[in-house]
Amino acid sequence: MPQTSSYTEENIKSLDWKDHIRMRPGMYIGKLGDGSAYDDGIYILLKEILDNSIDEFVMGAGKTIEISIKDNLVNVRDYGRGIPLGKVKDVVSKMNTGGKYDTRAFKKSVGLNGVGTKAVNALSSFFQVESYRDGLNKTVSFEYGEVLKDDPQVESSKRKGTIVTFSPDSKIFKNYKYRSEYVIRMLRYYVYLNPGLTIVFNGEKLKSENGLKDLVEDNNNSEDFLYPVIHLKGNDIELALTHNRKQYSEEYYSFVNGQHTTQGGTHLSALREALVKTVREFYKKPYDASDIRKSIICAISIKVMEPVFESQTKTKLGSTEMGGDLPTVRTYVNDFIGKNLDNYLHRNQNVAEEIQKKIVQAERERKELSGIRKLARERAKKSNLHNKKLRDCRVHLGDMNNELRLDSTLFITEGDSASGSITKSRNVNTQAVFSLRGKPLNSFSMTKKIVYENEEFNLLQAALNIEEGIEKLRYNKIVIATDADVDGMHIRLLLITFFLQFFPELIKEGHLFILQTPLFRVRNKKETIYCYSDIEKHDAIERLSPKPEITRFKGLGEISPNEFKNFIGENMRLDPIIINKDTSIEKLLSFYMGKNTPERQNFIIDNLKIDLDKA
């Protein structure tokens, strides 16, 4: 008979608030990460603090928020009402404590569960909160959630408000680094959603006068817009939209109560439905939904009473009701768009004509591609069954929890040896591998037709499930894993060109990365150090002297599966592909991948001279 373990009172344990958060951080802030992805935990910590400051602004208290991040120490200062002095310690260290349970004060707040700030406190090696109000100051500081110092109230002449300072715990967030591009992206969303709010980040001032209209214009090249951005505002709803001349898929930005719902939800579904319904009724034609929405860029923001999200990180709205006396989210969004977009199109016939031309063109292109797409889907389906190009992960083969799905990764690599090493060393639950055969095609200036006709591109598109856009993207991270030599760099460039050409929103939304792998292994009998640069190699040699063994990795295939586990697990180093908001994708691709050979040659020669001078 099997041996049974004892089960007594001693097996029953109660964790206090901070221990539970530290033991199960994913329950409170989603995935951890090291800061290489925009939704990694260190950014969620910043967001949780900012949400409280934003709520103060929404309540009419404080028009400026100041943020600084230096040496991974974060400081957030608002000029709101300040936390009531007698409750400063409780609101950052006592679960289910906060002012947002009183819906009279915070009817449409983001953080309603009283957990966010406590999670930041528990997951920080240092956390300090200062409240200024009524000419007094109260300061409490913590280490790992434990009270370090609880100062008595003192008189102060500083302006009212709250200052929170924290440093994420490096034992939990390993090798983390705040990337200013991701922080600024987050802060821009806050100012777009709160016209009149000024956020100062490390001295840079961010402000928006036109809300979601600014968001659409700032995140895209306005020269490619088919018509000026349509900007509609109502009670508890705002909409901005246009069509892009050169974009193939749909691109959406959705928000609820100031929260960027990256996974959409009921409001985004209602928006997509309402756009189709309104356009069909306006033109009195049963246009296909995909033709209406093709190349659309749209941002929507709604405010809901006591919203319900599908995860703690609030990335997908689950609420079906607006709250109060208002109708459902679906009805509210449909009614607003049906009335206001219809009115706009009637008043702006030139825009209406441009939209109709775009729809007719999309319909013609879809019909021309229909045969090719059908064959391509059949090839992709057959390939998935009969070859080993895609080695999928278990998260897509069963009903695993959503948090794991959000943490799924696809490695795109080239060559049997490299693919074999990654496949043998990966986490089979969340990491998949797609194997290229040789160098991809240079897809610059080609039409979408090439994606279906080219076997590599067709199978990659099918593996990612992005034919109709990235809403159903199967992997949260797409990682290009190639050798750090000339051929590997060329493959990287060709893959980035493919994504920029046909799926730029995939890069805009922070899904594409380059895998860093070590160039050297320096070891002696006691210790092994993997080095990613000559500087790291030099430091390792000094540390392991005398005369350690030095190995130069020439390619991914030379790294054994056992070693590879070190580079694609917790210590994985990723470089995100980030598009600057001022960058024109067309000009970028034209310069680097087009036929402007003399211009590009001169650029290389000029920069080579600079590098040689430095050497």
What's the confidence (pLDDT) of residue 312? Answer: 58
Question: How confident is the model over 319-334, as pLDDT tens digits?
Answer: 788 877 778 889 999 9
Q: Are 285 and 357 in contact (CB under 8 A)?
A: no
What's the confidence (pLDDT) of residue 608? Answer: 67
Element housing 131 (H / E): strand 124-133
Question: How confident is the model over 429-462, as pLDDT tens digits?
Answer: 889 999 988 888 888 888 888 888 888 898 899 8
Question: How confident is the model over 247-266, as pLDDT tens digits?
Answer: 888 889 999 988 888 888 88
CATH class of the domain whose range is 387-511+557-583: alpha beta
**Mean pLDDT on 101-114:** 51
Better-predicted residue by pLDDT, 46 or 596:
46
- DSSP SS3 for 521: strand
Cβ atoms within 10 Å, residue 48: 23
pLDDT band of residue 368 (cuts 50, 70, 90) is: confident
Question: How confident is the model over 464-509, as pLDDT tens digits?
Answer: 988 877 878 889 899 999 887 788 888 999 999 999 888 888 888 8
The CATH number corresponding to 212-365 among 3.30.365.10, 3.90.950.10, 3.30.70.1230, 3.30.230.10 equals: 3.30.230.10
Question: How confident is the model over 370-389, as pLDDT tens digits?
Answer: 888 888 888 777 766 556 68
**Mean pLDDT on 396-419:** 73
CATH superfamily of 17-207: Histidine kinase-like ATPase, C-terminal domain (3.30.565.10)
The Cα–Cα gap between 136 and 149 comes to 18
Q: Is 212-365 the same fold as 17-207?
A: no
Q: Kindly tell me if the per-residue pLDDT of 415 is higher than 70.
A: yes
What DSSP assignment string belongs to 299-364? EEEE--SS--BSSTT--SB---B--TT--BHHHHHHHHHHHHHHHHHHH-HHHHHHHHHHHHHHHH
Question: How confident is the model over 140-158, as pLDDT tens digits?
Answer: 999 999 999 999 999 999 9
Which sequence spans correspond to the domains of the chain? Answer: 17-207, 212-365, 387-511+557-583, 520-552
**CA nearest neighbour of 129 among 173, 204, 116:** 116
Tell me which of 120-124, 501-505, 552-556 is least confident: 552-556
What's the confidence (pLDDT) of residue 278? Answer: 96
- DSSP SS3 for 272: helix
Contacts with 14 (C-beta within 8 Å, 6 or more apart), sequence order: none
Cβ atoms within 10 Å, residue 275: 23
Question: Facing residues of 432 across strands?
Answer: 410
Rg (CA), the chain: 26
Question: Facing residues of 243 across strands?
Answer: 296
**Mean pLDDT on 336-357:** 96
Amino acid identity at 79: Y
**Mean pLDDT on 550-577:** 84
